Structure 1
Amino acid sequence: MKTEPKIPIPEFFKGRNVLITGASGFMGKILVEKLLRCCPEIGKIYIILRSRGDKSPKERWDEMTKLPVSVS
């Protein structure tokens, strides 16, 4: 079985647009942070957020971006 050559993550995402669902969850937050930090030449990151309870997607985004990402 032939394997494809491995491409570094920043090179793979260079100029590409990414759609992320679940960005307000634990893994989603880590993924967004990692892409922003490690892939400076990434295209656009599209994030789908839904309302939850009485909070609009905009309110959830504002809350999400105020909190630090922590994996400890």
Structure 2
Amino acid sequence: MSMIAAFYSNKSVLITGATGFLGKVLMEKLFRTSPHLKVIYILVRPKSGQTLQERVFQILNTIVWTTDGFGNVTIQ
């Protein structure tokens, strides 16, 4: 187990700015390297005529998420 995976094992993480480039990269890195991460909370606000749900859907449908290993990702 890597140091990153060990540190985040069974932990919860809050990410602000999740719709930006760095937020997406951080989420992808955490999903890929920390299989035992308990939960990731993201703070998203409505913007430019889009609802919260539309923005989250847009985040999860970007090219970052097309790699393998995300079978356990759920939206709550």
Following TM superposition, the consecutive aligned residue runs of length 4 or more in structure 1 with deviations greater than 2 angstroms are: none
Aligned residues: 63
Question: Given residue 59 of structure 2, which amino acid in structure 1 is its aligned partner?
Answer: M
- Taking structure 1 as the reference length, the TM-score comes to 0.83
37, 46, 57: which one pairs with 1:42?
37
Q: Percent identity?
A: 40
Q: For each residue in 1:18-65, what CA deviation from the matched residue of structure 2 results, as whole angstroms up to 9, or x when unmatched?
A: 000001101000000000011000111000100001101110011111
19, 22, 37: which one pairs with 1:24?
19
RMSD, aligned CA: 1.1
Instruction: Tell me the secondary structure at the aligned position of residue 63 of structure 2.
Output: coil
1:12 equivalent in alignment to 2:42: no
Gaps of 5+ in 1: 1-6
Structure with bigger gyration radius:
1
